[in-house]
Amino acid sequence: MTRIHADISVSLDGFVTGPDPGPENGLGTGGDALHSWAFSDDADDRRVLREGTGRSGAVVLGRRLFDVVDGPGGWDDEVGYGATEVGRPAFVVVTGSPPERVRLADLDWTFVTTGLPDAVAAARRRAEAASAAGGRDLDVVLMGGGATIGSALAAGLVEVLTLHLAPVVLGSGTPLFTGGAPRALVQRSVVPTSTATHLTYDVVRP
């Protein structure tokens, strides 16, 4: 069964970027430390990355994050979604207006202009088609940014939440949680490593 799975790295004080993020500095000042685990040689970090990207039937991201990953300093053959760990899932971008051109034209991009619920629905269709073609269950993965995942949680769209809690305090930046209705979580797994604590929760429907 395809599930909607939000997956993001976060600091101890709740930020998913450092201060002053932008197209040329997507993770903000000091924000690179949030993703040290993804480049770690630790066997548990590698397993978490492999399992996380391996379940991806389609990936949802917001426009600001798209502009970072598709920008000149963004993804390439060495750095990208899962890089060597995963094939090429469909990518669905929530945006007010599609870009005029895409640098990463070899990836499968869909731009949805009618809001996050429609983007998640489009991604679910792609993930279910990939599941049928591959003969195994694949999920929709919401990779960010923080505002996109926060909005999805607030709208009740997320079924599973994975946080990669980095041992860093950034002080400011882009917060993951900015208020909204209380949300109950059921803890499913905790994987501690030297670079992060990987936490997975089922999100209880209101």
Q: Give the pairing type, strands 174-175 and 109-112.
A: unpaired
The answer to whether the CB of 32 falls within 8 A of the CB of 26 is: no
Among residues of the chain, what percentage have pLDDT more than 70? 97
What pLDDT does residue 86 have? 58
Query: d(Cα 177, Cα 149) in Å, to the nearest integer?
Result: 9
Q: How far apart are CA 162 and CA 117, in angstroms?
A: 20
Domain ranges of the chain: 4-203
pLDDT at 53: 86
Is pLDDT of 206 > 80?
A: no
Q: How many residues does the chain have?
A: 206
> What value, to the nearest 5°, has the Cα angle with vertex 121 and ends 119 and 124?
110
pLDDT at 157 over 70: yes
- The C-alpha atoms of residue 33 and residue 18 are separated, in whole angstroms, by 9
Backbone angles phi, psi at 56, to 5 degrees: -85, 110
Report the distance separating Cα 67 and Cα 56, nearest Å.
Answer: 21
Query: In the chain, what percentage of residues exceed pLDDT 90?
Result: 72
Whole-angstrom distance, CA of residue 3 vs CA of residue 19: 32
Task: Give the integer Cα–Cα distance in Å for 124 and 118.
Answer: 10
Radius of gyration of the chain (CA): 16
**CATH number given to 4-203:** 3.40.430.10
pLDDT in tens, 2-37: 999 999 999 999 999 999 887 777 788 999 999 999
User: Is the confidence at residue 42, as pLDDT, over 90?
Assistant: yes
Helical segments of 23-145, H only: 43-54, 63-69, 116-134
- The pTM assigned to this predicted structure is 0.92
Provide the CA 143 distance to its chain's centre, in angstroms. 1
The answer to whether 103 and 71 are in contact (CB under 8 A) is yes
